[in-house]
């Protein structure tokens, strides 16, 4: 790709499809979606999806209180107003609070974050969304390939948004993918991404007639993926199903060790959920902040890095609603209680299964030490 110099997605030779167009078609087929748009980042996929869905400045958009900053950041970037919804101890959206917040705010949109790879009961959620008149856009940055009752995440709502940033399930350093079965929506999204009216060069686009209005109504956001990133991603897509199996093997080894520790609580994995275990989360209820910091330090001394969502200030890839000053302050006691003792660890495929046995053993030993100190 570098030798050709044709890095821009529309810089093609004659009628040859670009790497980006090929990726779009291949990802749409893998996802089981009609259409796919390759974007510059997962955050851009979220912004484009909301604007193409009709989110306007000042609109209320519901989202999880437990997510990462790019999610409320995308809502703020389109001029909308994030409305945060409580989570459950299983780290998923609290559907009862969703109904309360939807009615109180008058929101018409839900940006559902499958945070850290945990799926809420998607059948119940979609029925509730229909009852409340909510348009659902799924943030699947952590659930590429996960399923609920056999349906892939991203295929429930109007659109699914995926990230190909470092640490995601496919890694191009940065990048995003947007999928949908709605042709009018996807035509608007493609124009928003900056197609320069070259939408016929997209690999998984709707028929040309759907662009008649969109091409004049939608602004150009210059949020395209380039051919170099697409060339990096295409081989990874072919290997993705095998990678998912390898992640889950590693996750389950560590989870087995943690399940033996009486003071550690793992999120419940319902039978309907087929997850992608590229990270693992656990809580130690009742653990004081000083003890949480001590646990992090002891694990680091033994070569294991974990994140803690109970910090007052954001650190690394963790933050909480208290750190997002561009979001109206919310009273979220249930979420705050859960996050105060929530720990998080990535499980990259560079870890062997033997490594994960050691990691699980050390985690269990150090969490037991917390109990002994507290006693």
- CATH number of the structural domain spanning residue 171: 3.40.640.10
pLDDT at 193: 98
Domain boundary among 221, 238, 255: 238
Residue (of 353, 346, 359) closest to 280 by Cα position: 346
Q: What is the mean pLDDT of residues 209-224?
A: 96
CATH code, domain carrying 255: 3.90.1150.10
What is the domain extent for residue 286?
240-374
Query: pLDDT tens across 221-263, in order?
Result: 999 999 999 999 999 999 999 999 999 999 999 999 999 999 9
Residue 316 has pLDDT above 80, yes or no: no
| Domain total of the chain | 2
User: In a 3-state reduction of DSSP, which class is residue 250?
Assistant: helix
Contact present, 42 and 67 (Cβ < 8 Å)? no
Residue 64 has pLDDT above 50, yes or no: yes
Q: What is the mean pLDDT of residues 351-363?
A: 98
* Rama region for 307: left / alpha / beta (φ>0; ψ in -120 to 50; rest): beta
Residue 315 has pLDDT above 80, yes or no: no
The size of the chain, in residues, is 375
Q: What is the mean pLDDT of residues 356-366?
A: 98
My answer on whether 246 and 230 are in the same domain is: no
Query: pLDDT tens across 128-174, in order?
Result: 999 999 999 999 999 999 999 999 999 999 999 999 999 999 999 99
Across all residues in the chain, what is the average pLDDT? Answer: 96
My answer on whether 210 and 319 are in the same domain is: no
Using pLDDT thresholds of 50, 70 and 90, give the confidence band for residue 14: confident
Q: What is the mean pLDDT of residues 16-32?
A: 97
My answer on whether 92 and 25 are in the same domain is: yes
My answer on whether 263 and 135 are in the same domain is: no
What is d(CA 21, CA 170) in angstroms, rounded to the nearest whole number?
17
Q: Which two tokens stand for residue 83?
A: 């409305």
Using pLDDT thresholds of 50, 70 and 90, give the confidence band for residue 374: very low
Residue 372 has pLDDT above 60, yes or no: no
- 161 is a domain residue: yes
pLDDT at 209: 97
My answer on whether 178 and 283 are in the same domain is: no
Residue 266 has pLDDT above 80, yes or no: yes
My answer on whether 51 and 158 are in the same domain is: yes
Identify the helix (H) or strand (E) that includes residue 287.
none
DSSP string, 32-48: T-SEEEEES-HHHHHHH
My answer on whether 49 and 180 are in the same domain is: yes
My answer on whether 198 and 77 are in the same domain is: yes
- 61 is a domain residue: yes
- 67 is a domain residue: yes
Q: Which two tokens stand for residue 264?
A: 């550690």
Domain boundary among 188, 210, 238: 238
pLDDT at 227: 98
Handedness of CA 150, 43, 67, 57 (dihedral sign): negative
- 4 is a domain residue: no
My answer on whether 226 and 346 are in the same domain is: no
Say what the pTM is: 0.96
């Amino acid at each position: 790709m570098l030798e050709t110099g044709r890095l821009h997605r529309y810089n093609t030779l004659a009628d040859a499809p670009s790497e980006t167009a090929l990726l779009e078609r291949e990802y749409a087929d893998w996802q089981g979606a009609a259409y796919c748009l390759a974007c510059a980042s997962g955050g851009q996929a979220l912004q484009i999806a909301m604007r193409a869905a009709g989110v306007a400045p000042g609109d209320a958009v519901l989202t999880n209180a437990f997510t990462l900053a790019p999610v409320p950041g995308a809502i703020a970037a389109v001029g909308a107003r994030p409305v945060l919804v409580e989570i459950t101890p299983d780290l998923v959206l609290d559907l009862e609070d969703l109904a309360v917040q939807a009615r109180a705010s008058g929101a018409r949109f839900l940006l559902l974050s499958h945070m850290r790879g945990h799926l809420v009961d998607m059948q119940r959620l979609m029925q509730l969304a229909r009852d409340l008149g909510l348009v659902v856009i799924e943030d699947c940055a952590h659930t590429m390939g996960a399923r609920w009752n056999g349906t892939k995440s991203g295929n429930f709502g109007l659109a699914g948004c995926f990230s190909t940033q470092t640490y995601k399930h496919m890694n191009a350093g940065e990048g995003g993918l947007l999928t949908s079965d709605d042709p009018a929506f996807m035509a608007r999204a493609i124009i928003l991404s900056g197609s320069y009216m070259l939408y016929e060069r997209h690999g998984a686009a709707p028929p040309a007639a759907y662009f008649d209005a969109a091409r004049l109504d939608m602004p150009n956001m210059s949020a395209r993926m380039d051919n170099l990133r697409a060339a990096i991603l295409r081989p990874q897509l072919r290997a993705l199903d095998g990678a998912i199996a390898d992640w889950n093997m590693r996750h389950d080894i560590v989870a087995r060790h943690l399940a033996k520790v009486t003071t550690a609580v793992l999120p419940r994995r319902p039978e309907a959920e087929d997850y992608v275990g590229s990270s693992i989360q656990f809580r130690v209820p009742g653990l004081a902040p000083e003890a949480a910091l001590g646990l992090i330090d002891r694990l680091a001394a033994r070569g294991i890095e974990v994140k803690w969502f109970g910090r007052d200030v954001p650190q690394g890839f963790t933050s909480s609603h208290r750190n997002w000053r561009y979001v109206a302050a919310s009273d979220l006691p249930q979420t705050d209680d859960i996050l105060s003792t929530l720990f998080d660890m990535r499980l990259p495929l560079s870890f062997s299964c033997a490594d994960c046995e050691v990691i699980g053993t050390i985690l269990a030993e150090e969490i037991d030490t917390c109990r002994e100190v507290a006693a």
